Copies of this chain bind each other. A is one copy, B any other.
Amino acid sequence: MAPAKLTNISELGEFALIDKLTQGIKLKQKNTVTGIGDDAAVLKSGNKKYELVSTDILIEGVHFDLTYTPLKHLGYKAAAVNFSDMAAMNGIPKQIVVGLAVSSKYSVEALEEVYWGIKKACETYNVDFIGGDTTSSPQGLFISVTVIGEASKDSIAYRKGAKEGDLLCVTGDLGAAYMGLLVLEKEKKAFQANPNIQPELAGKDYILQRQLKPEPRLDIIKELKKNSIVPGAMIDISDGLASEAMHLSKAGNVGVAIYEEKIPIDQVTFDTAEEFKIVPTTAALNGGEDYELLFTVSQKEYEKITKIKDIHIIGYITDISEGNRMITNANQVIELKAQGWDALK
């Protein structure tokens, strides 16, 4: 019998692969509210609260490059991006557990730096570091983080929930983390070609920090609560604005319209993109790792939302028949496509 043809992982891509692997899963526990498919799973926890659970793995050579990533930053980022998953549900992180595997080339001191970063992120965001597993790997550094958080039952935000006419909002600015990555990659290549070269990082602090030490937007979660605003749908931007907008579209069965001119892009990001001959909007749409929040609110919240610092209305929600569109600066309407980062491609 001829062997069956095997499917290469890269043929499917991350989202289709996960769909395939997780099909047929049935949830039976009474306290499970939702499982796979959002930024976090949701469990019942008392009368007014939900518990949130999310996990991420970070792998040397795939998610980070130790040539230019300080180990303290790596630890901090591993925790911070998981806290961002809690923010993405309109919740807050409360506890984390961390798995860490390293090859024998790592020293105890190197591991202490990684842990220092994790502990620092926990201190900053008031999260308890409650458990872990530390072991060896044949090669490279692996980190897995699982975060447990909390959201109010009446204000939890899922990817689904966007309604026609809703305003589409984004926090902070986009594309910066990706431009920071390009600068670091460029300097790495220059250094490899000539180890005596001085790195050209002047004026790039902002985008380097955005790449190396992202912060979860828990400040925004606090502001939304203070202003009694409950997002209809929400997600954090890890794979680029286009990819995340399309998640909201798919989950909510709606269309998304984004104005290019409204997409917030920092001046350093803009200038660096031009240096690299990249359209700045492309960096924002497809760059990834910004860990800003993308969410919808009903139009009646317009006044309240415009008063909150660092929230930008970039578009609106339409009927699904209108598709996902961007209205360009030249007033053209183009179809939104996700070319976000896919670790499996």
A residues bordering B, Cβ < 8 Å? 4, 6-12, 14, 17-18, 20-22, 24-25, 27-29, 31-32, 34-36, 40-41, 43, 45-46, 51, 53-57, 59-63, 94-95, 97-102, 104, 106-112, 115, 119, 122, 126-140, 142, 144, 146, 148, 343-344
A22 to B43, CA, bound (A): 28
Known interface pairs A104-B8, A109-B7; A131-B62 also in contact (CB < 8 Å): no
Report A37 CB to chain B, min CB distance, Å: 9
8 CB contacts below 8 A, A to B, read A14-B135, A22-B115, A53-B97, A54-B97, A59-B101, A61-B138, A135-B343, A136-B344
For this chain, the copies found in one complex come to 2
Known interface pairs A55-B133, A133-B56, A344-B136; A142-B108 also in contact (CB < 8 Å): no
A17 to B106, CA, bound (A): 13
A84 to B8, CA, bound (A): 34
Which residues of chain B are within 8 angstroms of A132 by Cβ–Cβ distance? 18, 22, 36, 55
Asked whether B29 lies within 8 Å of A128 as measured between CB atoms, the reply is yes
Which residues of chain B are within 8 angstroms of A148 by Cβ–Cβ distance? 43, 53, 148
A51 to B45, CA, bound (A): 10
Which residues of chain B are within 8 angstroms of A40 by Cβ–Cβ distance? 131
Contact of A133 (CB < 8 Å), options: B11, B57, B100, B119: B57
A131 to B111, CA, bound (A): 27
Contact of A97 (CB < 8 Å), options: B21, B51, B55: B55
Q: Closest 3 A-B residue pairs measured CB to CB?
A: A144-B144, A6-B107, A41-B130
Identify 6 new A-B residue pairs, CB closer than 8 A, beyond the known A9-B111, A36-B130, A43-B95.
A9-B107, A9-B108, A29-B126, A35-B129, A59-B142, A134-B344
Asked whether B41 lies within 8 Å of A126 as measured between CB atoms, the reply is no
Asked whether A55 lies within 8 Å of B126 as measured between CB atoms, the reply is no
Asked whether B104 lies within 8 Å of A35 as measured between CB atoms, the reply is no
Which residues of chain B are within 8 angstroms of A56 by Cβ–Cβ distance? 99, 133
Report A76 CB to chain B, min CB distance, Å: 15
Which residues of chain B are within 8 angstroms of A139 by Cβ–Cβ distance? 138-140
Contact of A128 (CB < 8 Å), options: B6, B20, B27, B144: B27
Asked whether A55 lies within 8 Å of B22 as measured between CB atoms, the reply is no
Asked whether A146 lies within 8 Å of B97 as measured between CB atoms, the reply is yes
Which residues of chain B are within 8 angstroms of A6 by Cβ–Cβ distance? 107-110
Known interface pairs A6-B108, A55-B132, A144-B99; A31-B138 also in contact (CB < 8 Å): no
Report A247 CB to chain B, min CB distance, Å: 15
Which residues of chain B are within 8 angstroms of A128 by Cβ–Cβ distance? 27-29, 32, 35
Which residues of chain B are within 8 angstroms of A134 by Cβ–Cβ distance? 14, 17-18, 21, 344
Residue among A25, A40, A60, A126 facing the most chain B CB atoms (10 A cut-off) = A25
A8 to B115, CA, bound (A): 16
Known interface pairs A14-B134, A53-B130, A132-B22; A108-B62 also in contact (CB < 8 Å): no
